[in-house]
Each structure stands twice: as structure tokens, then as C-alpha cells.
Chain A
Amino acid sequence: MPYFGSEETVKELKRALSNPNVQADRLRYKNYITRVIRYMTQGLDVSSLFMDMVKASATVDIVQKKLVYLYMCTYASDKPDLALLAINTLRKDCADPNPMVRGLALRNMCNFRMPGITEYIEQPIVAGLRDKASYVRRVAVMGCAKMHSLQPNIEIDASIVNELYALLRDPDPVVVVNCLRALEEILKDEGGVVINKPIAHHLLNRMKDLDSWGQSEVLTFLLRYRPRSDDELFDILSLLDAFLQSAHAHVAVATLRLFLHLATAHPAVQADALQHTSGALLTMCGSISRELRFAGLCHVQQVMRSQPGLFAPHYKRFFCAYSEPSYIKFRKMEILVELVNDENVTLVLEELRSYCTDVSPELAQAAIAAIGRIARTYSEKCLDILTGLLALKQEHITSAVIQTFRDLVWFCPQSTAAVCQTVEACVDCPQDSEAKQALLWLLGEHGEQISSAPYVLEVYIDGLKTELSSSVKMELLTAAVKMFLCRPAETQDMLGRLLHHCIEEESDMCVRDRALLYHRLLQQGVEQTRKVVMGPKSDPSMSVLTGHQQEPVSQWVSNFNTLGPLSAPDLCIQTPLISSPEQPSNNAEEELLPVSKDVSPSIPKDDQEELNLYLGPPLSHESFERTWLDLEVLHRETLSYTRPRTTPDTLQAALQLVKIQTLAFTPGDTLPWKAYLYTRGNRTLILAELLQEDPDSEGRLVVSVKQQPPNQHALRGFVSILSSVLQTLNVDS
């Protein structure tokens, strides 16, 4: 760090350290060493003092030794040749009668990150593994891992690995856990430490001796073990039972994860465990530390994916306090939205209503969006609140309310009339482009129900010259065309002006092209235009797909108690901004770190690669047919239900929501009914055929899948997504 006079300081220290008078006075000598360390931690380069510091390591004073070791570890990689001089002192210390000195020397020797050190440290480490003091053994075990990381390419020393496996039976619990940690690092390329039956049971029996950190880690390692029989499984579960109540949140949650993981085949046991730990999770949500509270909330959110009702009686615990940081408030609101039921809806809405006027605009908007999501189930009550909010005439509130209205109308058509009435009464126009787009969409889509709609549009068309955002202009074009189709007399003149302006004077290419497109379309005649422009006005089936749904525990348990859910962005802030109805948001789970894929001990690699379907460039009918004929059927499955009895549009929209494109299907109720679908994911193209031959009563839907290139994992993922969509649609209809 470029401090003034830093060179002077180093020189002065060097003089002092090499002064025999200072060296003779233990206290003064140590004070100078402390000063060197202090400068070092401030970022000053004191590496030129290396020789003097090495000399200082020959002392009986442990603190001085510690300080010098700290210095040497920091600079050893820069000055490897000088560091070698220090090795001798350290090796001598490794034979000291005081175990603390032995451990300290060994640990620091392993911390030297410089090439060629291994030949010096190997022998002391092996000796340390058999030391009679557990402190030294702990250090030595960790030393094995450090030694390996110094030269990762060298073949693993089988004798050390065996010794470490043997040390799993060490009487000292920390040595046991350290062995696991070290083996995990050394054997990383081979899939980590192997947990077989004797090791698993040994660890389970030692659990109560370990400190909480060790317990948590052992529980994570045990995720690798699969019990052979149900009896063994229940033995293990009863051993673990006490840890569900651990005072340490991280142990309790790690135990819960292991429980859920082991009891995959016993949903009742899983439900019981969740019930059992709900208290602990709630306590975590009320913890004093705000970080723990946040983590608790994230975990509650995950549990609620399977058991939405579990926390409903405790909904008041998720009310926000004024002093809480915003990331906690956002999570709490997301949870409140999920918790709502007939009994608490009034109180929850009242609570959310009070957040809408919060000082922070983000929070207010998130609260409004949350009310909007509740409105999909309890529309009347929520509409009253939202309408009331418009009366406040606060710009950011109006903006959020209008965006919420747009989403609401799309998801539940029954609220359309009320929304239109409110929009008509709302006089002031929103200022930000997101809200403008939402308002224009509402006006265009439901213009026939809003009597003043053409006049509002006219205001926008007149103010076109000052409008900056091109997306607002495009939305305005669409709205004007739609409006023209339902109320031609009032709109014709302004549409003409709008098109003229956009084609002749507009500099933005996208807007101009859109205007030209509409212009040409209108030249084809009104009926043609109507066919193209007017789509479905709402899609209630989407709220079924995005709304409450009980997922099986296995859907989320693989990333329970991992970093993924905690670093996922808050949904509440995102929904109002991105969920333009035509482009459903992709709530794909945040992927884990790239490194974590290899290291995470719990899940086999195959499962961890998440399936992300995407549509990619559209496939023409011809190329689909060609590919279909070329490929072999990789998977054929008879589903346990018939084809969905929804309209083709709904089916198509629902499938598109999960990024599956429908290419063609048999119209109406003719049999055999067929549909062809395709999608892409994980670098493979997936083609599928749905076929129903017999009449409904007996016939089952047969799905055949072809793939290029084959990828079993993606294929399984695709089939499960497809079947869950079809199932949902069946329930819905």
C-alpha cells in the first residue's frame, strides 16, 4: 500500500531487528515483531525483512513463534529459497516435548505454500498422525490434505489414505471429523470419501461426542449412505431423532435434510419430520441475528413448497417489523402470499396494506405485487385495497397498482369488469414506462369496457413526440390497433395520425417496422387484422400452473440447506417488472456454483445438472418430420390419464409456459388424437408424440419421445415436466 514513508518504516524496522541490543531485550524485540505483523496486515510490503524474521523464530516464546510463523506463511511463496532456512527450526519444533509447540510448528509448516516443501513436511506429518497428543493428530490429519493440495497432480499416496481411514476410529472426535474433511479433499477426483455401512454406523454412534460443527459436517457426509433395509433405515432415523431438536440451527437443519433424504420412500416419515422441525424453523425466523432470520425464512419457503399449510397458523410470525432489513421483508411478504387461507386473509391483507405506504418505494411496490398475487384467489377484497391505494395519488404506488392490474386481468378474467371500472376512474397517468405499458395494454385489450379509453389513448398519441421509450411506443401502436378493431369510429382518426407519425417521423427502427406491419395488416382488411391481433384476453390456466401446488419433497430437498435458495433473487421485486403476460417469467432455480458441482458431497452428478428447457429457433414442419423419421423411439410411456379436455389454445399456452412447443395436433375430439411437441434442453433436441387411440373411457395417453443426441437425464426431466403439465390440465378441466 502506498503509504508515505513506507520504505523508511521498513528500513527502520530492519535496523531495529538486526540490532543486537534489541535482540537481547526480549520484550523490545517482540514489540518490533508485532509492529512488522501490524504493517503486514495493513498491506505494507515487509517481505524484505524475511531473513531477520527467520532469525527471530529461534525462540522459546510461543507468541513470538506464532507471530513469526504468521509472517513466514504470508511471504513463503514469494521467497521460497529463504523459507527453506526456516524449515529446520520448524522441524526441530515438531519434536518439542510440548504438544502445543509440536502442533503449532506442524500446522505452520503445512501452511507454507511453496514448491518443493512436500519432501520436508511429509515425514513430520506421518509422525504427527501417530502422536499421542490429540492436538497434534488433528493438525497432522489436516496437514495431509494441505500436502495434497500443494501438488494436486501427484498420485495419491495409498498408505496415507489407509492411515486416515484407520484414524476415523480415533478416540478424539475432532480427529475423526478432520479425517473426513481431509479424505474428502484428497479423494476429490474419485468422488470423495466412501461412506460404507461400518463407517456410517460408527459415525452415527460418535455423533453426540462431536462439536456442533462436526455434527453438521458428518450429517452432510452421511447423505451419501443408503441404508440397505427398512429396519436399518429406522434405526438410523431414531438415532438422529434427538438432533432435530439441536440448539444449533445448522445442526437441526442438516439433520432435517438427512431425514428427508433417507426417508424418500416414506412420505409419512418426511411429513412427520417437517412437522417436528417446524418449531425450530420458526424460532430461527425470530432469531436475534438478522442473517439467521433470513436463512430461516428461506428454509421455511422451501418447506412450504410441499406443505403449504404447515406454517399457516403462525402467519403472524411473518409480519414485518419496521426495523428489519429489506431482504427479510421481501421474503416475509413472499411467505405471507403463500400462507393465505380463508381464516387469515383479512388480517394478512390489512398487514400488507400497511406496507404499501412504506417509505421505501421498492418495498411498497413489492407489497402491492403481493396483494396482486393474493387477488388471484381473493379478488374482491384485494381489488378494494388496490383501488383505495390509487386514491393516494403517489406516483410509485399508482405505477405498481396498474402493473398489478394487468397481471391480475390476465390470470383471472372474472376481475376484469371491476378493474376496468377502476382504471376508468383513475385520472392521473403513470409516469414510468413500465406502468405506461401496462396501462396501454389494459386499454387496448379491454377497450370496449372502458368508455374513456380512446380519449386516454389520444393523450398518449398527442404526446408521442416527447415520449422516449420505444417499448411504450410499440405498446401504444398495438393498443391503438386493438382499440380500432373494437371501436373504429372513435379511433380511426388518431390511429391514422399515429401510424403516420411512426412511419414518417420515427427514428427507432423497431417502432417504424411495427407501424409498417400494422399498416400493411390493416390494408389486408379488418377481419384479417382481427385474426392476427386479437388473441385470448386472459389465461386462467396459467394461474393453476404458477399458483399453489403441493410439490413432492424430492423436488427441493436436493438443494435444501445449500447456498442456492439463499442467493436466489427475491421473487416479489421481480414479478411486477418482468411478467409481461406474453412472456411468462422463467423461474428456473439458481444454479449452484460451477465448482460446487464437483465438490458437493450429497448428490450424484447426474441429478445435479438441472434441466433447463428452452425453445430455441423454431423447427419447421418438414425438418421435424425428417428428424422424427430418422430417429428411434428412445422412451415410450403410457400415462395414467387421458388427454386434457381443455381447448387447444390452453394446452399450447400451458406447454409453452414450460418451454415446450406444440407443432401440430389433431383438432377437436376426433380419434385417434395426436399431438407433436418439441423442445431443447441440455444440448439436446427432444421430439415427442402424444397419442390416444381408443375412446376416452379406456384409452390412456401414450407418449413417445425421440432425442438427438441422446441424454437420459434430459429425457427423464422432459417426461416428468410434460406429465405434470398434463396432469394439472386434467385436474383443472
Chain B
Amino acid sequence: MIHSLFLVNASGDIFLEKHWKSVVSRSVCDYFFEALERATEPENVPPVIPTPHHYLINVLRHRIYFVAVIQSEVPPLFVIEFLHRVVDTFQDYFGVCTEAAIKDNVVVVYELLEEMLDNGFPLATESNILKELIKPPTILRTVVNTITGSTNVGEQLPTGQLSVVPWRRTGVKYTNNEAYFDVIEEIDAIIDKSGSTITAEIQGVVDACVKLTGMPDLTLSFMNPRLLDDVSFHPCVRFKRWEAERILSFIPPDGNFRLLSYHVSSQNLVAIPVYVKHNISFREGSSQGRFELTLGPKQTMGKAVESVLVSSQLPRGVLNANLNPSQGTYTFDPVTKLLSWDVGKINPQKLPSLKGSMSLQTGASKPDENPSINIQFKIQQLAISGLKVNRLDMYGEKYKPFKGIKYMTKAGKFQVRT
């Protein structure tokens, strides 16, 4: 299925390769490099590249291309999702998935790849099972290992596969029993120049960190389960019960896992938490342009909008921008024409603004496209769709667990056209 895997960094060097069947020469990547050269931007490389004898399927994450070499017909989604799973696992193990982290942990990386695929077929990919096979490197463990000379490989086989509930190992014990849930929503939106919404949708997930002794059986109910009509669950959730009562009932896996992901797309349900007032104009014949931008919160239920970052690709004719931010800092790269403004937190009493002028190439005609503005932000303690957890109950065990729920809204692909 997956014959080989090559990891290629942003400058086009192969820095790691792994073969599960026979060794495929590195020269197969030449087709990939050709495509990379043809693509003007690093992310423009098509995900599937046909070559005379192989297919190359690549995903780009954290500025690293994960290039899989395929020799026979496979469902493409299968490979793409698997590659993403590999990246997720690296991130889970090393905290970040960068070239440096992979090179530092090259031994663990090889161990992981060896366990995740056998003969090109997926073997163990569940994070908590892998972690029993190969212990993730932590600072403490690294120190201990150096002193005692012990290893980061579990000496025992994972028991999970042998229990009645395949995703949970038996005999789990904790002194503090805790269950935490994070409701994280990403809002994707396109706003047109008059401020009305063209598209808006919310991608939400509920991630859980459950550390409970024994075999707990949890039920989680929502205040407004009607919101969730486009939803997919972790295999542990009893689907019949959800269909009948709109209650999540499940025996959780041990540790971190994604309980469900959902999608809210009907527009009247999606509130837009930020508004932008803008005036970007170029005059015919003049070498100056005006730039004014003001941000403000709306429909945030009093929660603060934080970590705001505004970026915009200005037209090619712009030589420089001379702007004055009321708060935060801005940078303008004259080569890529990328303007980015790190705003920080929006204070509703004193709205942040960025005003000034842009200088254009003299003699150049007025740019015919207006730049669009990308905004990133975070809102703590708010799920913008209005999803709220009603209650969490535990059955099957005697102790009282500690429960916690956090909400967060982030901007996904949030774009304002001017």
C-alpha cells in the first residue's frame, strides 16, 4: 500500500526516508521537486503526482512535505488521512513537528514508523496504544534514562487489544480522577466589502482528556443538541443512544482523544464575532494610496477577543506602507507585499486602528484588485455556535471524579474582502 515515505523540508532537501517494502531510490522524488518548482507557492504543489511507475501523495504540514510513494491503486483519502495521522503522532510525541524535532528524535521517529506500518499497511495508529509500545520522550524521562540507562520502550505488550473495549486498556488506576473536555470551534468566514457575510461556517471539536480509574461509563448531555446535525463521533460513542435521546454515552479511552467533531453551516446560526471598518483606496494618477482599518468586537457575549493578527496581501504596485497603529505593531515586507499587524487584545472602549498611506510605483496604473484581509483571533470561554454542555455523569464506578469544561473560539480561514 504505502511503499516508502520521504520527508522533504521547505528548501527541498530529503531529510528522512523510510521504506516498508523494497528500497525505492530517492530519484523518485525528482518528480515531486519538478512539481515543487512549477508551483509558485509552497502550498500549491498538487497532493497527487503521477509518475511513470508510482504515484506520489504528499501532505504539507509545518512546512514539511510528507511524500508517500504508492505503487498500486489505493483509495487516495486513505493515504492522505494516514499521513496526517503520522504528523499528528509526531506532534503528540515531540510537542512540535519541525525538522529539528524530527532530527533530534530520529530514533523514536523510526520506531514509530515501524510500528505504524508493516509491509506498507497500517498496524497501530491509536495514540494511546502507540504510547504503550513506545514511550514518548519527556525531559524527565530523558534525564532518568541517561542515569539509569533504561529505555523508552514499553516492556509489556499493550493490553488494550485484549480487553472487551478495544480502545481502553484494562486495569487503569489513578489517584486523582479527572475528566476534562475542551470545546474548540474554528470559524471560517468570507465577509464582503459591505460587511455582509458571504459564507460562514463553524468547525467544532470536543477534545477530551479523561483520567479515570477502572471502566467508567460516561454520559454527556448538551443544552442545545439540535445544533449538532452534521457530526461524527469517536468509535466509543453509542450511536443508537445519540440518535434516540441526543445524549452522548460512552466508555472513554484512557488519556487524550477527540470525542466528536461537528460542523455548523446554516448561516443564521453562525455569529461573526469581529467586524472590520476599512477604507483602502488608490487614486488614478497619484502615487499615494489611503489605508484605514478599524477592528471591533460584536456578538461576543462580553468575552474579550485576543491574539488578534491581521494580515493582507497588498497589490503588486505598492512600494511601501507608512502606517500608524493605535496599538500593537505592524510589519510590511516590500518583497512579498505582505502586511501583517499584530493587534493583541481588542479593547471595546478604544478600538484598535491602523491608518496611514501607501506609496505606489510612480507611473503605474491604479491596481485593479483590492487586497483582502485575513484575520486570526481567539476568544476564550466562548463557543461561538452557542453550544453548551449541560451535564456529565458517570456510572459504573464508585468514586467522584473531578470534571472540567473549557470553551474556545478561534478564527480558521477568516477573510474580509475590501
Contacts and interface: CB of A to CB of B under 8 A. Distances in A.
Contact of B81 (A38, A292, A593): A292
A567 B107 contact: no
B156 interface: yes
A110 B82 CA distance: 24
Interface stretch (B116-124, B278-286, B339-347, B355-363): B116-124
A100 B157 contact: yes
B123 A138 contact: yes
B76 A322 contact: no
A324 to B, nearest CB: 8
A197 interface: no
A289 B80 contact: yes
B175 interface: no
Interface stretch (A80-88, A240-248, A368-376): A240-248
Given A146-B119, A213-B122, A563 B81 contact: no
Interface string A27-66: 1001000100110010000000000000000000111101
A70 B43 contact: no
Nearest to A42: B15
Given A100-B155, A216-B78, A249-B81, A590 B50 contact: yes
Given A37-B107, A317-B265, A133 B157 contact: yes
Nearest to B152: A63
Contacts of B152: 63
Interface stretch (A333-341, A357-365, A432-440, A494-502): A357-365
A142 B118 contact: yes
Interface stretch (B295-303, B367-375, B398-406): B367-375
Contacts, number: 228
Interface in B183-242: 186, 188, 190, 198-199, 201, 203, 230, 232-235, 239
A66 B72 contact: no
A546 interface: no
B385 interface: no
A168 to B, nearest CB: 16
B198 A316 contact: yes
Given A292-B80, A322-B372, A254 B75 contact: yes
A283 B230 contact: yes
Interface in B56-92: 58-61, 70-78, 80-84
B122 A250 contact: no
Contacts of B146: 27
B126 A211 contact: yes
A726 B121 CA distance: 48
Contacts of B73: 562-563, 592-593, 596, 599-600
Interface string A561-574: 11100110000000
A288 interface: yes
A321 B190 contact: yes
A292 B77 contact: yes
Given A113-B22, A247-B233, A599-B72, A66 B82 contact: no
Contacts of A515: none
Contacts of B54: 593
A561 B81 CA distance: 13
B396 interface: no
B156 A100 contact: yes
Interface string B89-124: 000000000000000001100110010001101110
A304 interface: no
A99 interface: yes
Contacts of B415: 321-323
B316 interface: yes
Interface of B, secondary structure class, is mixed
Nearest to B337: A359
B199 A291 contact: no
Contact of B203 (A142, A288, A319, A351): A288
A295 B263 contact: no
A417 B17 CA distance: 61
A733 interface: no
Nearest to B59: A291
A62 B155 contact: yes
Contact of A359 (B1, B122, B316): B316
Contacts of B114: 66, 70
Interface in B144-161: 146, 149, 151-157, 161
Contact of A317 (B60, B61, B199): B199
Given A142-B118, A247-B233, A283-B263, A66 B153 contact: yes
B110 A250 contact: no
Given A317-B265, A358-B369, A41 B190 contact: no
A135 interface: yes
A295 B76 contact: yes
A254 B155 CA distance: 37
A691 to B, nearest CB: 42
Given A37-B106, A566-B76, A596-B73, A149 B151 contact: no
B48 interface: yes
A74 B20 CA distance: 11
A351 B415 CA distance: 14
B316 A562 contact: no
A590 B166 CA distance: 41
Nearest to A249: B77
Contacts of B83: 291
A287 B230 CA distance: 13
B75 A253 contact: yes
B53 interface: yes
Contacts of A149: 21
A345 interface: no
A211 B21 contact: no
B161 A566 contact: no
A349 to B, nearest CB: 14
B16 interface: yes
Given A100-B157, A323-B413, A359-B316, A561 B75 contact: yes
Contact of A62 (B72, B153, B203): B153
A67 B199 contact: no
Nearest to A100: B157
B81 A322 contact: no
Contact of B412 (A254, A288, A327): A288
Nearest to A279: B230
B149 A246 contact: no
A107 interface: yes
Contacts of A707: none
Interface in A324-352: 324-327, 351
Instruction: Identify which of B76, B199, B235, B315 gathers the most chain A CB atoms within 10 Å of its CB.
Output: B76
B170 interface: no
B161 A134 contact: yes
B135 to A, nearest CB: 10
Contact of A70 (B49, B110, B151, B235): B110
A37 B16 CA distance: 12
Contact of A250 (B23, B77, B230): B77
Lowest 7 CB-CB distances: which A-B pairs, in order? A247-B232, A596-B73, A250-B77, A213-B122, A599-B72, A357-B369, A600-B73
10 contacts: A174-B123, A181-B119, A286-B203, A287-B203, A291-B80, A326-B40, A359-B315, A359-B369, A563-B50, A593-B71
Given A292-B80, A321-B413, 5 more contacts: A181-B121, A253-B75, A319-B190, A323-B374, A323-B415
Interface of B: 1, 16-17, 21-23, 39-41, 43-50, 53-55, 58-61, 70-78, 80-84, 106-107, 110-111, 114, 118-119, 121-123, 125-126, 133, 146, 149, 151-157, 161-162, 166, 186, 188, 190, 198-199, 201, 203, 230, 232-235, 239, 260-261, 263, 265, 313, 315-316, 365, 368-369, 372, 374, 412-413, 415, 417
Interface of A: 26-27, 30, 34, 37-38, 41, 61-64, 66-67, 70, 74, 98-100, 107, 113, 133-135, 138-139, 142, 145-146, 149, 172-174, 177-178, 181, 208-209, 211-214, 216-217, 220, 242, 245-250, 253-254, 279-280, 282-283, 286-292, 294-295, 314, 316-317, 319, 321-327, 351, 354, 357-360, 392-394, 561-563, 566-567, 590, 592-593, 595-596, 599-600
